[in-house]
Amino acid sequence: MKIALVHDWLNGMRGGEKCLEVLLEMMPHTPIFTLLCEPDKISEEIQRSTISTSWIQKLPFVKSKYRYFLPLFPWAIRNLNLKDCDLVISISHCAAKSVSLPRKAIHVCYCLTPMRYMWGFYDEYFGKGPYHWLKFLGLTLFLKRLQRWDQESSRRVDYFIAISQHVAKRIKNLYGRDSEVIYPPIDTAKFYYNDLDLKEDYFLIVSALVPYKRIDLAIRAFNQTGLPLKIIGAGTEFEKLKTLAGPNIQFLGWVSNDLLRQYYARAQALIFPGEEDFGITPLEAQACGTPVIAFRKGGVLETVKEGETGLFFDDQTPNALVQALEKFKGTPYDREALRQNAFQFRTEIFQQKFKEFFRKNNISFNE
């Protein structure tokens, strides 16, 4: 059986890429097809696979402005050559689920989310900069056509797997399709705490610095409180956020996994101010014995137990987060209970669930 993995784009190591790594562990040497790839920004495990890209890869400025090429994605993804495949597994939050396949092929879509920026989350993804109106006009010219393409291509998927109940509901609402839920994997061997990891006074954010993550909200809240905040991550909003931040807020960029584990384990709490479809970082923090303070919406409701592994704030405003920080003060959390909650989402469970899914649906794969 010839198997292929399809991914939207490979230009960083986010949650979707970590899922791809684990699937490659299950199916070594499986080729990957994607719209574009920056090899220096992906892991060695992914680099070892044969990676085929689309003609989008050759366009000027595509590496830094790839989202603005969205109207071209339907043609680019359709031209990926998967004609000899028997089984295709797409990891999709944009175009990957829309590949063209031979009739004999089975298509399983591991859906990170239906396209958020096409279905009501435009500002959260593209921001509100000086040329916001121009970007919005450019997208809206194609929007209805792209939405139609998105829905029509969903009918060609044989099986949907959602990363959370939150995403399963969106798949049902937008595509009219049922889906099974398999939560993304957390590497509990890499993320843990030990006796040397004593708690320090800082709070932590681990995130790409992009508009929809709402890091600006957290910065405004910490500017008010004066509490120390460390921000791990990089992205298009860095300069804007750096200008906004007070002296109590430190930007660390991306750090090694060893350092990241230490920052997680020694933080007072992880701050999670955005609405995510799942959210890997709250579970990584819990695996390291650190609670989470999160906006009460999205996939985090499935991974954080209020009062046991964290707490929520109801309004997506700086004042609501300030109140949550005040409520958090002095609240005891059991580090082992935090880790045990994260342990339910470990890599082995993800692999087991996928194997069970294949067997239940009589799908062969190269184990």
* CATH of the domain spanning 3-185+347-360, picked from 2.160.10, 1.10.10, 1.10.3470, 3.40.50: 3.40.50
pLDDT for position 76 = 94
Backbone φ and ψ of 324, nearest 5°: -65, -40
- What 3-state DSSP class applies to 56? helix
* Tokens describing residue 225: 């409180």
Rounded-to-integer distance, Cα 126 and Cα 117, Å: 8
pLDDT for position 134 = 46
Q: Is 178 exposed, middle or buried (0-12, 13-18, 19+ CB in 10 A)?
A: exposed
Spell out the alpha helix ranges (H) of the chain: 15-26, 44-47, 62-65, 73-78, 122-126, 132-154, 165-175, 215-225, 238-244, 257-266, 281-287, 318-328, 335-343, 347-360
- CA torsion sign for 16, 10, 99, 124 is positive
- Which residues, 6 or more positions from 41, have their beta carbon under 8 angstroms from its beta carbon? 10, 11, 12, 13
pLDDT for position 296 = 98
- Which residues, 6 or more positions from 317, have their beta carbon under 8 angstroms from its beta carbon? 217
Rounded-to-integer distance, Cα 260 and Cα 154, Å: 37
**Two domains, one topology: 3-185+347-360 and 203-343:** yes
8-state DSSP, 46: H
The C-alpha torsion from 313 through 319 and 322 to 326, rounded to 10°, is -80
* Tokens describing residue 194: 């030990």
Under a CB-based contact definition with an 8 Å cutoff, are residues 23 and 184 in contact? no
- 63, β-bridge pairs: none
Spell out the alpha helix ranges (H) of 273-317: 281-287
* Tokens describing residue 132: 């916001």
Q: In a structure prediction context, what are the per-residue pLDDT tens digits for the chain, which is 367 residues long?
A: 899 999 999 988 888 999 999 999 999 999 999 999 999 989 999 999 999 999 999 999 888 888 778 888 989 999 999 988 999 999 999 999 999 998 899 999 999 999 877 776 555 555 555 545 445 555 666 778 888 899 999 999 999 999 999 999 999 999 999 999 999 999 999 999 999 999 999 999 999 898 889 999 999 999 999 999 999 998 889 999 999 999 999 999 999 999 999 999 999 999 999 999 999 999 999 999 999 999 999 999 999 999 999 999 999 999 999 999 999 998 999 999 999 999 999 999 999 999 999 999 999 876 5
Any idea where the domains of the chain sit in the sequence? Answer: 3-185+347-360, 203-343
8-state DSSP, 183: P
Instruction: Kindly report the CATH number that applies to the domain delimited by 203-343.
Output: 3.40.50.2000
